[in-house]
Structure formats: C-alpha cells, structure tokens
Amino acid sequence: MPKTIEPANHYSLARFASDAGHELIGPIDQMSALVSLFVNRYSDPADEEAAKILSHIQAAGKRMQAAAAGLRAYFRVAASGHRQEIVDMNLALQTAMYLLAREIDESGAVISAGPLPSVTGDVDLLTELFRILLENSLKFRNPEVAPEVAISGESLDDGCVFTIEDNGIGIDRKYHDIVFTPFKKLNACGDPAQAWDFP
C-alpha cells in the first residue's frame, strides 16, 4: 500500500513569504536595473576600487532578487492546497529530469535510479522536490569529474525512505543545520558565506 507523506502547514510563514516577496521584488528589480545602468554609463575602468564596490553592489542585488524569488516560490508551494493522491515517484523523477534536461546534458551528468515506491502526496510538490535536489547535485559538483547521481527508494512498514547520493563537493557535517536555515548558505569552499569581502 502506498505510504503517506504528511505535508507541513506553516500558514504564518507562508503569509509572511507572500507579503515580503511581493513588497520586495519591485524595489529590488528597480535597484538592480539602476545599478546596471550606472555601471554601463558612468563607471571608469581605471578606478579599480569603484569597480570593485559596484561589482559587490550588483552581486548583492542578484542575491536579493534570488531571496525574494525564493519567498514567492515558498508561498506558492505552501498555498498549493497539498493535494493527496497516489504518486508514481518514478514518473515524478522522470518529469524532474525532463525539466533539467539542458543542465544534465551540459554537465555530462549520469543519473541512475532503481524502482521507486509510490506514495500518497502532491505530485507537483514531490516533482519539485526531486528537481531541486537534482539541481543541487549538478550545481555543487566536483569540477574535475562529471556528476554522478544515484536515486533509490525503499518501502518500510511505517513509510518510505528515498536516498539521493552524488559525487559532489559535499557539506561538512558541522554545517548541516545551516544549509536548511532560511537565508543561510555556504560559499564555494563549503564555509558559511560572507555578504561582503572588502579588505
């Protein structure tokens, strides 16, 4: 019998994400556009310090755009209604791979999967979960080798366990809590990212 994946109900956070995302995205887009316009028209290539500062401003604008987009995406997920239906996880994985077809092809990734059990849940949310996990495997890969991703699933008495393993750069165990905290991330070296890097 298909096992049930229980949805989490975070109404207050979803409401916050909706309000904050809509309020932030407009000004952030405008600021980013104005900074880009200023850089194109008035920046002096000879002034290295000014160029460095402007580069940091542009990078900060992109991070804010990504954060606001993430808030809106969270709200869409939280407000989706959490349909409960039998989901073929093999099909959900295939759909996620189709959505990432270009990235998979460009990276030369090899993705393998055994038969996956069916569950009861929201097919769109579960497909999106697979897409995000695969996207992370492709993004945080070892630059020396092509990505390899293995997906497996097991049906247990009290639920299902799905495992995704890759040959990427990995995350130090001491940072496991950080990466699942909103607005926290690690840099390319696997350490907590810093917003600014001025001398």
pLDDT at 2 over 70: no
What is the reported pLDDT for 140? 86
Q: Where are the alpha helices (DSSP H) in the chain?
A: 11-42, 48-78, 89-99, 101-107, 123-139
Pick from 118, 129, 116: nearest CA to 85: 118
pLDDT at 157 over 70: yes
- Alpha carbon 86 to its chain centroid, in Å, reads 25
pLDDT at 49 over 90: no
Across all residues in the chain, what is the average pLDDT? 77
Pick from 123, 119, 5, 129: nearest CA to 73: 129
pLDDT at 193 over 60: no
pLDDT at 41 over 80: no
| Band (11; pLDDT cuts 50, 70, 90) | low
CA distances from 44 to 15, 33, 60, 134 (A): 44, 18, 20, 41
Question: pTM, whole model, 2 decimals?
Answer: 0.63
